[in-house]
Amino acid sequence: MKYYIYLIFSFISFGQVAFAQETIKTSTKSIDVIRLFSAGNKIEWAVPISKNEKILLQWEERNTSFTEKEGIRTFVGYNNDEFVATLSISKDQKILGNFEWKQTQWDIKTSDDGYIILFSEEKGEKCGLCSDGNCHVHHPKTPQQTPFSRPATEKNTYHIHSDEILRVYRLAVLVDWYYYRREGSIEAVKKYWSSLEATLNEIYMRDIGIKFEIVNDEKLIFNTSDKQTFDNKTSRYIINNSTLKINQLIGEDNYDVGIVIAKIQK
């Protein structure tokens, strides 16, 4: 069996506080949002994006690999039938999520004093895949091109490339020290894992019949500086060493696909 390691510079929302352009502390208490989401598995919540503006999203709960074992509830948010957001609530009554609105990526968190806090993100990060010494860098997509949404003109013509067989892949997500520090707890990383799994499955199960189950193994979380391995390394180094490292941590028979979340050397 082959194991493919995809290098991700900036993915979904985790650790992107470092690139935040704007921070908004709202007057919305996190506990009030949690109570609202506890009312059922289909709800509406108007997400505050400024002191005077909110957007109404329809939310549906999704089971992930962390629902039963970790008690993390994860929801996907829609606006006019377009998938635009994810949100996870953990047993410690804290929220972690993200959504895209008006060409801006927003992260949602619970502040230290219990309020909803938002971070808006730059669109300037790049994602790339390197193999055999060749790096293919992709500039960020426009809001209409993101995995969260699809242009209106394509909605009725888009063809699902699937043979109607559901394929399940165990996804190992290694989180290095730099990004762990941004959240500061293993619980926060697991909320991120749960949101990531829900996001991937919301897209790929529907479109091509692929389901991901993220490996719930804390050995993949580098929560102390002495474990730091891939931060500030070149993309070539990460690509060449990621598979070996994940194999050492959890064993090559315990995952199918792996990714590394690390600060790349520029």
Residue with token string 């520090």: 181
Distance from the first to the final alpha carbon of the chain: 32
| Beta carbons within 8 Å of 152's beta carbon, 6+ residues apart | none
pLDDT at 158: 40
pLDDT at position 259 is: 94
Name residue, tokens 């993309």.
Answer: 235
Question: By the 8 A CB rule, do 30 and 47 touch?
Answer: no
Tallying the residues shown for the chain, one arrives at 266
Strand-pair partners of 24: 118
Over the stretch 9-35, which tens digit does the pLDDT of each residue have?
333 333 333 344 688 888 999 999 999
Tokens of 33: 């949002």
Structure confidence at residue 38 (pLDDT):
93
**Looking up tokens 């055999």, which residue turns up?**
132
User: Which pTM does this prediction carry?
Assistant: 0.79
Q: What pLDDT tens digit does each residue of the chain (266 aa) get?
A: 444 444 443 333 333 333 446 888 889 999 999 999 998 889 999 998 877 789 999 999 999 999 999 999 999 999 999 999 999 999 988 999 999 888 788 899 999 999 999 988 654 433 333 333 333 333 333 333 334 433 333 333 344 556 778 999 999 999 999 999 987 899 999 999 999 999 999 999 988 899 999 999 999 999 999 999 999 999 999 999 999 999 999 999 999 999 999 998 87
Per residue in 145-181, pLDDT (tens digit) is 334 433 333 333 344 556 778 999 999 999 999 999 9
Asked if 197 and 65 touch (Cβ cutoff 8 Å), the reply is: yes
Q: What is the 3-state secondary structure (H, E, C) of the chain?
A: CCCEEEEECCCCCCCHHHHEEEEEEEEEEHHHHHHHHCCCCEEEEEEECCCCCEEEEEEEEECCCCHHHHCCEEEEEEECCEEEEEEEECCCCCEEEEEEECCEEEEEEECCCCEEEEEEECCCCCEEEEECCEEEEECCCCHHHCCCCCCHHHCCCCCCCCCCCCEEEEEEEEECHHHHHHHCCHHHHHHHHHHHHHHHHHHHHHHHCEEEEECCCHHHECCCHHHCCCCCECHHHHHHHHHHHHHHHHCHHHCCEEEEECCECC
* Among 136, 162, 174, residue whose Cα is nearest residue 257: 174
Q: What is the pLDDT of residue 7?
A: 40
Backbone angles phi, psi at 101, to 5 degrees: -155, 130
CA distances to 73, 109, 203 from 47, in Å? 18, 12, 22
